[in-house]
Amino acid sequence: MMNKSWLFSLSRWTQSLSKEAKCARAPILHLSKRSSAFKAPTRPDLKTTESETTYAKGRENPMLFCEEYIPPQVQPDWHRNKLKYRLERMDCLRRRKAFNIPEFYPGSIVAVTVADKHAPGKSIRFNGRVLYKDGFGLGCKFALRNVIDGEGIEVVYHLYGPYIQKMEVLHLEKWVDTDLRYLRDADPSYCTIDPDMQPKALPPTSVELELFRERVKLNKSPRWQFQYQKHWPPPYNADFQSHFLEDELIESERFSAMESWRKYDICRHYDVTEMKEEIVAEMKANKSRIEKADSTLKQETS
Amino acid sequence: MLASRQRLFTSTTKSSCCFCEREFHGNKKYAAKRHRTPRPKNVFTPVEPVNAVKRGERFAVRYTDKYGVRSDKFVPVHKLPAPRWSWDYDLTKDNVDFLSEIARNYSENLQTEATNAPLNDELWPVHDWQKDSKRCGAVGIKLGVHPIWFKDGSYCNSTLIQILDCNVVKYFSKEEYNNKTAAVLVGAKNASPFYRNEKYAQFCRDAGIPMKAKCFRFLVTENAALKPGTPINAMHFRVGQYVDCLAKSIGYGFQGVMQRWKMAGGHPHAKLWHRRIGSLGAGGKVIKGKKMPGQLGGTYENIRGLKVLRINTKYNVIYVKGRFAGHINQFVKICDTSVGRLQPNTEEEAKRLIGPFPRYIPIDSNEELPEEIYHDSVHRMNDPSIILPSTEK
């Protein structure tokens, strides 16, 4: 709360400053007749703590909540074990404390330096566009795609793998789709990324990310990996109807009309709002649990 | 003669069971045998096995597979054991409510009584390890699978096993059991006192522990005798030792030949032949063991030589390298390996390949155990990223 009041007063002060600057004059304190009624401005508190960074709507504090902390949807109740989910989330938190895993979404451009015993310098750097990020807990994997010398190359990494030495987000983008494997059948310009690309400025966490709503044009249909017009839900960022003739257009519309009931099927929806509160409370408890557990470890090694 | 034949084949009226008033279409003679009078469950009724060889049948060698199905003789209904009824079949509703309330707090009350009891007998004496001596194992629950990374950058899928409320239920000496080896019954996961039959309930009462949901038998040498009631936790095993895991695989029921034996079946454009066996073999007869449809899964499978990588002493969880059969929350029997190459011959090997013999005894009772114990080759998640040393000459 203190932070917000400080921002409020600071914003007022900066607004007044900008008016002065437009007039190209230095800021002047106008002394009034009633000088005794002068009130000094509130002194801004410059000590900021890490826990008070604000997170916008679509973005969360990774120490408290992440997409990979949500357990997979398993039908019979006796086929899940909550202790195992808790132990895996504790290991994820340990890794995040030791290494800063940056925030990224499918569609953004990421560079990764990885330990490899067969490489000359024992490490390899690869950058590319993220196609998907899938899995639960320590098994969470993401794929990077890059086109080098006309050859498309994809590499899959574990998000929590300790063989990752460095991870940089070169361009943070959030697409509407979470599965961009149709870029294999699209114009290769979307996935050709310069190996020496410089990172762009990241927006701060208090700003909501705008979704990327442009549509990628796919190549002609007989060369596709999947029949995208027969998949539900149809991808938003892919434009696969531009090459279609009239017959195929009618068939694709008929198929989407047939399958459109699925968005109203409540049983298939995985409601996560209740789970999010439980997970956030659990991760706060995990933090203290880890400190107790790892303090005994350090005594052993030292 | 004619009259009896008419009686057998002419009665087509509906017949009903006298006890539960269900209706059957067909012969009254078989309806009576299908539904028997109720018998209480807690009484142990031994059943004589169907032994066709005694009566001089044709095949002397009876083929039975691991599902317990006899291929040449189908066991008739009247020879199967009595049907099982619930423990409250003959009690009034008030009594049922009263007993179920007791059962709810049963295990907690027992444990508090045991800890507060002034006269606690001492546990049995501990003997040293000798060559060819076996100790008992533990019973756990399969929690799931997740990856573990090693310090050279490789990774493996490791299963988590939780050892939940594990206690020794009964010890049989060599003379009591079979005159070759002693046996130990170990149970896990507390259950209500009405869960099983009276014989098993008496074992648990004598040991002073609550009734266990699952119980496994371990064959043991007499120098590893354990007193009934001793608790077993994750420290019973050692990081770096090798372990066998036995668990019941997921049951898929009666499955065809393509799922069960991975036969190829017909090609996609076939019209009259899709998922069938094909040839039954040559020689004028079908050989025993011919692959055919039948029960798939639901059997006990043993995986040997799994390495223990990590132990969590707070939740009693063991991380084991590799995977084994069974769904999540399935009971698992964990014991020291039977792999020949990993059998210990000296005391030093016994400390590396086998856990503490015969059970875990803390050196200082007041000493606090470290919460996580890792193997040397395992990378800990709170360490910095792996940097491989460069080999430049």
Residue A294 lies in a domain: no
Give the position of tokens 């399969």. Answer: B142
**Are the CB atoms for B23 and B70 separated by under 8 Å?**
no
Domain that holds residue A196: 99-270
Q: What pLDDT digit, counting tens, does each position of A14-24 carry? A: 555 555 455 44
Of B149, B327, B390, the CB nearest to A79: B327
**Are the CB atoms for A69 and A279 separated by under 8 Å?**
yes
Amino acid A278 reads E
Residue A142 lies in a domain: yes
DSSP state of B354: S
Residue A71 lies in a domain: no
Q: Distance, in angstroms, between A277 CA and closest chain B CA?
A: 23
Closest chain A residue by Cα to residue B328:
A79
Distance CA B109, CA B321 (A): 37
- Name the helix (H) or strand (E) containing B220: strand B212-220
Q: Name the residue among B259, B280, B279, B276 with its Cα closest to residue B267.
A: B276
Distance CA B267, CA B136 (A): 52
Name the maximum alpha-carbon separation found in chain B.
104
pLDDT the model gives residue B217: 94
Residue A94 lies in a domain: no
**Are the CB atoms for B250 and B325 separated by under 8 Å?**
yes
- In the structure encoding, which two tokens stand for residue B232, read together? 């077993």
Contact at CB, B312 and A139, closer than 8 angstroms:
no
The reported pTM is 0.78
Contact at CB, A161 and B149, closer than 8 angstroms:
yes
Q: What pLDDT digit, counting tens, does each position of B162-212 carry? A: 999 999 999 999 999 989 999 999 999 998 888 888 889 999 988 888 999
Q: Name the residue among B358, B315, B336 with its Cα closest to residue B246.
A: B336
Q: What pLDDT digit, counting tens, does each position of B34-60 carry? A: 555 665 555 555 555 555 444 544 444
What is the total count of domains within chain A? 1
Residue A179 lies in a domain: yes
**Are the CB atoms for B171 and B229 separated by under 8 Å?**
no
- Tally helices (H) and strands (E) across chain A: 4, 9
Closest chain B residue by Cα to residue A164:
B385
Residue A157 lies in a domain: yes
Instruction: Give percent of chain A above pLDDT 70.
Output: 85
Residue A232 lies in a domain: yes
A165 touches chain B (CB under 8 A): yes
- Pick A253 or B108 by higher pLDDT: A253
Report how far apart the first and last C-alpha atoms of chain A are (Å, whole number): 41
Closest chain A residue by Cα to residue B153:
A163
- In the structure encoding, which two tokens stand for residue B163, read together? 């050892």
Sign of CA dihedral A174, A175, A177, A182: negative
Interface test with B, best of A68, A84, A296 (most B CBs within 10 A): A84
- A94 CB neighbours in chain B (<8 A) are 380-382
Of A84, A117, A292, the CB nearest to B143: A84
Q: What pLDDT digit, counting tens, does each position of A54-80 carry? A: 888 889 999 999 999 999 988 777 789
pLDDT the model gives residue B173: 94
Residue A4 lies in a domain: no
- A121 CB neighbours in chain B (<8 A) are 390
Distance CA B46, CA B27 (A): 30
Amino acid A72 reads P
**Are the CB atoms for A190 and A216 separated by under 8 Å?**
yes
Q: At what angle do helices B106-116 and B93-104 cross, to 10 degrees?
A: 50
Q: Does the pLDDT value for residue A33 go beyond 90?
A: no
Q: Distance, in angstroms, between A161 CA and closest chain B CA?
A: 7
How many other C-beta atoms are found inside a 10 Å radius of the C-beta of residue A78?
10
